[in-house]
């Protein structure tokens, strides 16, 4: 898919999108509130409008939008307490319904939502690679670098990062190919009103908290192994 000067039809004053999506999968990372979700929605919208022959604002002479048999989006939180469905369970239900699809365009926002990121990375790598083998095209957004790094091993996957201007302390709403982007959680929190002294305190805890988490996980694993040994006796 190649889009030149595409404008999202819902936005009042959209920034035109120029993007070459030429591989089977696009993994979008980078700064919070930097345009990742809007990029995903724009790609899906362009494909939908083209499929149903609906006019759109785009440079048609230099754009290429392939035909997709189906277009699917996994965006909202599927949690449903009435049906005893958690966020992650809902996501798995959505994915399981798509695993047999072919020639589909799929967009997934915040793909690791609702469960442990490390476990989810391995799981989603397996699910995504199955879908890629079935002639599907996929766009995902994620803040978790492990999944992006795992998927980057596949030659049919392209990385795209939403950029941040550190001098101006705000997103640029532009993207760079071939890299995994930083989320800039502290900077985004500051931009949206969290006091600077709390941000500095959080930064000080960041490295220490990561070490504590590694120790906690290691201790939990040891206790789990010990419990299994006792139960097997």
At 32, is the pLDDT very low, low, confident or very high (cuts 50, 70, 90)? Answer: confident
Considering the domain architecture, whether residues 162 and 209 belong to the same structural domain is answered as no
Residue 135 in tokens: 């002639």
**7 and 114 housed in the same domain:** yes
137 and 23 housed in the same domain: yes
Assigned domain for 187 exists: no
The one-character DSSP state at 137 is: E
The reply to whether 164 and 96 lie within a common domain is yes
In this structure, is residue 89 part of a structural domain? yes
184-232 pLDDT, tens digit per residue, is 888 899 999 999 999 999 888 877 666 565 565 556 556 666 776 766 6
**Are 210 and 176 in the same domain?**
no
**Is 72 exposed, middle or buried (CB count within 10 Å of its CB: 0-12, 13-18, 19+)?**
middle
- Return the CATH number at 90: 3.40.50.300
pLDDT in tens, 43-95: 999 999 999 999 999 999 999 999 999 999 999 877 766 666 888 888 999 99
Same domain, 156 and 218: no
Question: Are 74 and 171 part of one and the same domain?
Answer: yes
* pLDDT band of 27, cuts 50, 70, 90: very high
Claim to verify: residue 209 and residue 110 sit in the same structural domain: no
Which residue did the predictor score with more confidence, 232 or 35? 35
**Range of the structural domain that residue 226 is part of:** 193-232
Using CA atoms, how far apart are residues 152 and 105, in angstroms rounded to an integer? Answer: 19
Inter-residue contact 46 to 3 (CB < 8 Å) = yes
Q: Is residue 154 part of a domain?
A: yes
DSSP β-bridge partners for residue 99:
none
Do 164 and 200 fall into the same domain? no
Residue 216 lies in a domain: yes
* CB-based contact 31:183 (threshold 8 Å): yes
Q: Count up the domains in the chain and report the number.
A: 2
The verdict on residue 45 lying in a domain is yes
Mean pLDDT computed over every residue of the chain: 88
Question: Which of 182, 201, 222 lies at the terminal end of a domain, its last residue?
Answer: 182
| CA nearest to 178, candidates 152, 163, 162, 160 | 160
Residues 207, 132, single domain; the answer is no
- Distance between CA atoms of 228 and 190, rounded to whole angstroms? 45
pLDDT value of residue 215: 60
- 118 lies in some domain: yes
Asked, for residue 188, whether it belongs to a domain, the answer is no
Whether 35 and 92 map to the same domain: the answer is yes
Same domain, 27 and 78: yes
Q: What is the pLDDT of residues 138-192, one digit of tens each?
A: 999 998 888 988 898 899 999 999 998 888 888 999 999 988 888 888 889 999 9
Structure tokens at 169: 């302390």
| pLDDT at residue 220, rounded to an integer | 58
pLDDT at residue 65, rounded to an integer: 97
What pLDDT score was predicted for residue 232?
66
């Amino acid at each position: 898919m190649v889009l030149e000067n595409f404008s999202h039809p819902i936005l009042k004053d959209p920034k035109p999108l120029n993007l070459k999506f030429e591989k089977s999968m696009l993994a979008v990372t980078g700064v919070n509130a930097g345009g990742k979700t809007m990029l995903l929605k724009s790609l899906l919208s362009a494909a939908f409008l083209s499929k149903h022959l609906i006019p759109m604002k785009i440079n048609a002479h230099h754009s290429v939008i392939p035909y997709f048999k189906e277009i699917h989006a996994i965006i909202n939180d599927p949690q449903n307490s009435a049906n005893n469905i958690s966020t992650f369970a809902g996501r798995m239900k959505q994915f399981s319904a798509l695993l047999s699809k072919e020639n589909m365009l799929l967009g997934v926002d915040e793909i690791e939502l609702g469960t442990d990121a490390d476990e989810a990375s391995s799981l989603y790598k397996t699910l995504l690679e199955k879908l890629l083998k079935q002639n599907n095209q996929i766009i995902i957004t994620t803040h978790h670098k492990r999944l992006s790094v795992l998927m980057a091993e596949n030659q049919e996957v392209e990385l795209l990062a939403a950029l941040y201007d550190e001098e101006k302390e705000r997103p640029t709403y532009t993207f760079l190919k071939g890299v995994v982007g930083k989320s800039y959680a502290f900077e985004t929190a500051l931009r949206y009103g969290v006091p600077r002294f709390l941000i500095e305190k959080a930064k000080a805890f960041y490295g220490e908290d990561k070490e504590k988490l590694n120790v906690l996980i290691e201790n939990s694993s040891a206790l789990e192994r010990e419990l299994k040994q006792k139960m097997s006796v």
